[in-house]
Amino acid sequence: MPETAIEAKGLTKKYGDMFAIRDIDLELNQGDLFGFIGPNGAGKTTTMRIIATLLNPTWGEAYVCGNSIYTKPKEIRRLVGYMPDFFGVYDDMKVIEYLEFFAAAYRIRGPERRKRCDEMLEIVDLDFKRDAYANTLSRGQTQRLGLARTLLHDPQVLLLDEPLSGLDPRARIVMRNLLRRLGQMGKTIIVSSHILPELADICNKIGIIDRGIMSVNAEVADVMKQVRQRTVLIIEVKGDRDAAGKLLEQHDAVESIEVKKEQLHVTLQQGIEDYSEIPSLLIGAGHKLTLFREEEVNLESAFMTLTKGTATKM
């Protein structure tokens, strides 16, 4: 069984009569990559700051690798790497000097300090900028430098607040690949965003929060199953497409067929998950399949469906 890395129970933060977050429950295991999604001001940063022990909740409890935020904050800070949505760089420092400054703050001393900084630059693909001044970096490079700084003390848990914000398409791809790599290294990651497609293809779990309330908290695969009531197959045949469609219409498992871009979009009856007979039926009738796959559910569509009216107000 994987070890529990983050556990939150009933986390709540109030400012006067206003709830920033309310009754947040969360459980993440080692290696999970959790996409924390919601509009600006929804409560993502508040939740992450509480887990990082930078903010006390009004009530509720949270544990990081078994350590309580109330009784063992110092231990948690050694285990957590927190990257805020905005952070400063020192204009008169070179990239390597910037990292060495923070490595010294983490009490990494001697030859180990330079070695560690070099390793982090390599991980975030910034070694070619080691002697550049930090204020000359692009937005994407600055974000990667921030991630390198966050990784210096080899944290088990990463809390990354909007790390993809403001990046151009190429920089977003680079950052997503970095997050995948860190997940493969066994890091537990919470990464927040107000733009769902940024996280759709890298996370194994997602949480959707709005106005302090987390309405969705589940495995991505479970969210897809919850949204999709019927399986849709996308089929291409070489030859007589209409004849293939008429053949499939007679099958008990098929509810409807639609032609889109020369492909048959076959909607199965609700509850049908085993469709192994369908390709055999087509092949047996002499049709050559050039494409046969199950339609993927778009996570953004899932988001709109699950949040319903709430999503339209974001």
DSSP annotation string for 132-150: SBGGGS-HHHHHHHHHHHH
Instruction: State the CATH number of the domain containing residue 128.
Output: 3.40.50.300
Q: How far is CA 132 from CA 88, 168, 260, in A?
A: 16, 21, 52
**CA quadruple 144, 149, 155, 159: dihedral sign:** negative
Characterise 10 by phi-psi region: left (phi > 0), alpha (psi -120 to 50), beta (else). left
Query: Does one domain contain both 72 and 218?
Result: yes
Q: What is the pLDDT of residue 312?
A: 36
Q: What is the pLDDT of residue 195?
A: 72
Residue-number span of the structural domain to which 242 is assigned: 229-294
Query: Does one domain contain both 137 and 212?
Result: yes
User: Which one-letter amino acid corresponds to residue 169?
Assistant: P
Residues 6+ apart with CB under 8 A from 132: 94, 95
User: Which one-letter amino acid corresponds to residue 173?
Assistant: I
In 208-298, alpha helices (H): 220-227, 241-249, 277-284
207-241, pLDDT tens digit by residue? Answer: 989 899 998 888 887 777 666 667 889 999 998 99
Query: Does one domain contain both 191 and 239?
Result: no
Query: Does one domain contain both 89 and 162?
Result: yes
In angstroms, the CA 287 to CA 112 distance is 64
Query: Does one domain contain both 150 and 165?
Result: yes
Q: What is the pLDDT of residue 152?
A: 95
Q: What is the pLDDT of residue 311?
A: 39
Question: Which one, of 271, 280, 261, 259, lies nearest residue 231 by Cα?
Answer: 271
How many domains is the chain partitioned into structurally? Answer: 2
In angstroms, the CA 34 to CA 88 distance is 26
Task: Collapse the DSSP code of 215 into the 3-class scheme (helix H, G, I; strand E, B; otherwise coil) and give the result.
Answer: strand
Residue 190 pLDDT class (50, 70, 90 cuts): very high
**CA quadruple 25, 37, 191, 71: dihedral sign:** negative
Q: What is the pLDDT of residue 218?
A: 85
Q: Assess if residue 115 is contained within a domain.
A: yes
Residue 314 pLDDT class (50, 70, 90 cuts): very low
Q: What is the pLDDT of residue 305?
A: 63
Query: Does one domain contain both 136 and 279?
Result: no
Query: Does one domain contain both 20 and 147?
Result: yes
Query: Does one domain contain both 66 and 140?
Result: yes
Query: Does one domain contain both 275 and 183?
Result: no
Task: Collapse the DSSP code of 57 into the 3-class scheme (helix H, G, I; strand E, B; otherwise coil) and give the result.
Answer: coil
Query: Does one domain contain both 287 and 148?
Result: no
Q: Assess if residue 312 is contained within a domain.
A: no
Q: Assess if residue 146 is contained within a domain.
A: yes
Query: Does one domain contain both 253 and 219?
Result: no
Are 96 and 137 a contacting pair, CB within 8 Å?
A: no
Mean pLDDT to the nearest integer, 262-266: 92
Question: Which one, of 63, 67, 68, 155, lies nearest residue 108 by Cα?
Answer: 155
Q: Assess if residue 314 is contained within a domain.
A: no
Domain edge (last residue) among 177, 203, 225: 225
Domain edge (last residue) among 171, 200, 225: 225
In 58-204, alpha helices (H): 73-79, 95-105, 111-123, 139-151, 169-184
In angstroms, the CA 303 to CA 306 distance is 5
Instruction: State the CATH number of the domain containing residue 285.
Output: 3.30.70.100
Q: Assess if residue 306 is contained within a domain.
A: no
Q: How far is CA 25 from CA 116, 218, 259, in A?
A: 35, 11, 44
Give the β-pairing of 288-294 and 232-238.
Answer: antiparallel
Average pLDDT, the chain: 89
Q: What is the pLDDT of residue 1?
A: 59
Q: Assess if residue 169 is contained within a domain.
A: yes
Which of 19 and 196 is assigned the larger pLDDT? 19
57-89, pLDDT tens digit by residue? Answer: 999 999 999 999 999 999 999 999 999 988 777
Query: Does one domain contain both 165 and 267?
Result: no
Domain edge (last residue) among 225, 255, 276: 225
Q: Assess if residue 154 is contained within a domain.
A: yes
Q: What is the pLDDT of residue 301?
A: 63
Task: Collapse the DSSP code of 160 into the 3-class scheme (helix H, G, I; strand E, B; otherwise coil) and give the result.
Answer: strand
Q: Assess if residue 200 is contained within a domain.
A: yes
